[in-house]
Each structure stands twice: as C-alpha cells, then as structure tokens.
Structure 1
C-alpha cells in the first residue's frame, strides 16, 4: 500500500492581491449603492431658508388661529378616482369657494408629490380626477374663499385601494 501525500498549497502574492481587490470591491459597491439610494430618496429639505421660515412663524401662527376662529370644516373625499372637497361654516352651510388646489405630498419621497386643481362640480363641491397611490400622504388644500389668504386645510391621510381610509 502506498500512501500519497499531497503537497499543501502555498499562499502567494496573487492570492493576497485577489483578497485585497475583493475586499475593496465590496466596499466600493456598497458605497455606490448607498450613494445612489440617498440621492434618489428624500432630500431632507423642509424649508429653503430656516431663518426666513423662523421670521414668518408668528405670522403664520396668527393666521392659523384666525382661520380656526371661523369654525369652518372642510370635507375631503377620495374614492373611485375622484378627489372632492367642500367647505362648510360653523352652522353647517356651504362656504362659497372660487377655486381649490390640492397638493398630495409623500412624507418620504418628493418625486411622488402631485398638485391637483379642482373644478366646481356641483353646488359648492369641487372635484377632479386623480387616484393617489396607496400609502400615507400629507394633503394640503388651499381653498379660495375670498379671504386675504386662502383657507388652508392640511391633513395626514391614508389611502388604501384608491380610497381615503
């Protein structure tokens, strides 16, 4: 019986080169992937200039209090590909509107934002054809009710199967 002995493989400079190239190749691939994902998702920008926004804060807060004092209630409906909005006063009577714009803002992706202008449908209800994607949205409604500033209605909503939940 003869025993064959196998010669152990040597670790050469070529092996070390392959290991180093693989190591740095993985790091570069991960960095490129993360940079691509970061540049195509939410920028993180909330306001263009924080100083200017801070100077406007008190005025906007006062406008919000004045709007809340009106006691108006906005009714937003999203279903079957229609977006509808109407506004009623504290007594429940319709508030005459001259125009309504709705901005659908996605909380994480600015690319998904969509502005929709509603047209008078019936009575004092404004409507437009639009089906937002399913998920969470921030809806900003600017309704022209003849005031110095548009009536602003901002809501965080959930869309499921094309309808407001």
Structure 2
C-alpha cells in the first residue's frame, strides 16, 4: 500500500515574510490601541506637585488622627435622586456642623467627577437632590463648623450597595 501526501506547495520566503509582517502588525496594533485607551481614560494626575504633597503629609496625617479620635462619624445614604448624609458624635447625638460638601470621583478617569454642597435639613442631617450614575465612586466628604474642618473622610462605594 502506498499513501499519497498532498501538499499545497513549498513554504517559501514569501510565506515567511507574510508571517513576520502579520505578527508585528498585531503587536503594533495592540500597543497603539492600549496607548490610546490609556491616554484617554485617566489623566494619571494624583497630585499637582509631589514634592509639596510629601512635605504636607505629616501635618495632614496628624490632623486626620485628631479627627478620628474626636469620635465624629458620618453615614452616607443614596436613594434614587436623593443623597443624604448624617453626621453624629460618638454617643450617637447629631454633630454640630454648618456645611457638608461631597466630591464624587471615579476611580479611573475624571470626566464624570462632580462636587455637591449639601443642604442642612436638621442638626446633623444634610441632603441634596442629584442623580448618581451607576458603578464605583470614591466619595470625599468634608464637614465644617465655623470654617474649620470637623470631619474629612473618603470612602469607595459601589452604587449597587445602595440599590441604585
């Protein structure tokens, strides 16, 4: 018995050139795509001046420790188009605060970032009407009394946690 092998012809230098060009075209195409996506999705900017930020770090850390030891804490609640923030003392009583500002930032990208000044509805209770898009957010909360920061916190949230 004889078996016949049918081939499509010899593998030539032209075939090898096509393989090499196709390989590098894919590599370059992927690199260009990743570079474009990276440059359009996030500014990369964390602080304006890293040297100044490093010099201010110890002072900010001490202030944050003092705020944490004060026992004041806040609770954020998102319901449809209403944002509520309750701030209270260690014993649960409402904290005396004049104004609360919330800054919503996306973990990646800054196109959807926004800040809200909440309206005081009662002592320790603030709210605003604003629609929050779904997904992950970093919410920075600053509470002040007589112009002095009483509470400054940041937390990462997912709107799904709030039933959004």
TM-score > 0.5, shorter chain as reference: yes
Q: Distance in 2 between matches of 1:65 and 1:35?
A: 40
- Structure 1 residue ranges without an equivalent (≥5): 1-7, 10-14
- Structure 2 residue ranges without an equivalent (≥5): 1-7, 10-14
> What's the TM-score once normalised by structure 1's chain length?
0.76
> What's the TM-score once normalised by structure 2's chain length?
0.77
Question: Which residue of structure 2 lines up, in the alignment, with residue 137 of structure 1?
Answer: 137
- Matched residue of 2:115: which SS? strand
Q: Distance in 1 between matches of 2:69 and 2:147?
A: 14
Q: Distance in 2 between matches of 1:98 and 1:85?
A: 13
Matched, 1:78 2:52: no
Moved more, 38-47 or 57-66: 38-47
Deviation at residue 108 of structure 1 after TM alignment: 1.3
Deviation at residue 76 of structure 1 after TM alignment: 0.9
1:8-157 equivalences in 2 (<5 Å) = 29-146=29-146, 148-157=148-157
- Matched residue of 1:110: which SS? coil
Deviation at residue 133 of structure 1 after TM alignment: 2.1
Moved more, 66-75 or 148-157: 148-157
Cα RMSD (Å): 2.9
* Count of residue pairs brought into register by the alignment: 159
Q: Distance in 1 between matches of 2:124 and 2:148?
A: 20
Task: Tell me the alpha carbon deviations over residues 7-60 of structure 1, each in whole angstroms, 9 at most, x when there is no partner.
Answer: x99xxxxx9999898777656644443332122112222112111111111100
Q: Distance in 2 between matches of 1:142 and 1:78?
A: 17
Task: Tell me the alpha carbon deviations over residues 113-161 of structure 1, each in whole angstroms, 9 at most, x when there is no partner.
Answer: 1211111234431111123222221110011123633520211112118
